[in-house]
Amino acid sequence: MKSIGIGCFNFGISKLVSTDIKVSEHVQNIKSSLEKIPSIGEIEIEFDDRFDDLITVPANNIGLKHNLVIPHIEFLRVEFSLHLPTRIQVSVLDESWAYERSGTEDFRVTLVSSFYGPVTFVESVGSAVKNDPSYSVRIVRAFLEAEFKKLEENVTFEYLGPSPFHANLFLTENTEKKGCAMIECEEIHARGYNDIIFKYDPEKFTSEQEIYEYFISEVDGELGLFYEIVRLKNRQNNAWRQISENVQSLKQVELGGLRWWSFLKKYKQLRNQRDIINELYQFKAENEGVRKQVQEWVDDAYSKQLAVYFEDYVRNNEAKFPSYPIDAISEWLRHNEARSIKYIELSIIFISSLFGGVIGSLLTILLQGRE
């Protein structure tokens, strides 16, 4: 039985790279960086050299931490073994029970680039049946993050939550029936993460490696879609957070009250309100477009019913796409805009009257002086 945890890791481009590089160069940089970590061995990296394109180096080292896959290398596969003694597992997570949950000191990490983005499989090699493979993802993630911070290389280690994916996967031989499908799965519900048992027909495969390759090819598309939805949700949340901060700054001005000496502040507020209203309309259009795109992806993925193992997870992820009070805030801003315009109009009338009175008085004094 193989125990497998799922995550979303990627190897990005560090700030040390200042010019655009080819895919093959970045792949070589990944290999060189991994080779400098003593605990890592058996490194195998594959990609389709027909797509050895030029990668545009991103500004400010953006990547998965900004919910973007940069670079997204088509057909990339990075695989390596990782030996982490118990003391290291305990230290990287600062949890004394680390080994008891991982059940092993040896891991096999496989990163594949699906259509939607990277998906990572962490196998707990030789672990006990009752181990926690999702916990192994945490250990591997924390270790790689710490090691890459020490390296001054052209590659960064990045990850996206949830890493681990909220389920434990087990791959085992189907001993109950012959002539079954190549792989079938059964989900066992638990208080924490559910266990998903994948059972394969041993008569349809020639080796354990072939079974594992087939398993990855069966599930990476669904898992890639799951993480792409996560990235889109995070980007939408970040954009909304910025709009919310701008709205809060307007509220602070409102708390100051309507005083005649606030004329310039109110004028600036009016301009800001109009900018935020434009941002809201842009955000609304983008949000509706993203929702529609996600719905189309999900419907397309499950309309063919080819490989359906994580449909509940993907659809729940889609269903939890956040909604935002766009219309309510737009209405408040328009109401506030009308108040600001009225305030400015009254201020102009007041100032005009004030200056008119002053000028009139001066003229009267001057005329009286001539008499």
**Cα 140 from chain centroid?**
19
Query: Residue 255 — pLDDT band, cuts 50, 70, 90?
Result: very low
For residue 121, pLDDT over 50 is answered with: yes
CA–CA dist 203, 205 (Å, integer) = 6
CA–CA dist 219, 310 (Å, integer) = 8
CA–CA dist 195, 107 (Å, integer) = 19
Instruction: Reduce the DSSP state of residue 87 to 3 states and report it.
Output: helix
Here the tokens at position 150 are 């020490």
According to DSSP, the β-strands at 40-46 and 2-7 are unpaired
* pLDDT at site 100: 81
Higher-confidence position of 324 and 77: 77
Instruction: Reduce the DSSP state of residue 154 to 3 states and report it.
Output: coil
* pLDDT at site 355: 56
CA–CA dist 21, 26 (Å, integer) = 7
Mean pLDDT of 337-355: 52
Are the C-beta atoms of residues 56 and 14 closer than 8 Å to each other?
no
Per mean pLDDT, which range of 86-90, 259-263, 278-282, 304-308 is the poorest?
A: 259-263
* pLDDT at site 23: 93
Which tens digits make up the pLDDT trace of 44-75? Answer: 999 998 888 888 877 776 788 788 888 889 89
Quick one: which of 140, 26, 131, 134 has its CA closest to 83?
Answer: 140
Say how many C-beta atoms besides its own lie within 10 A of residue 356's C-beta. 10
pTM: 0.84
For residue 133, pLDDT over 70 is answered with: yes
**Cα 149 from chain centroid?**
20
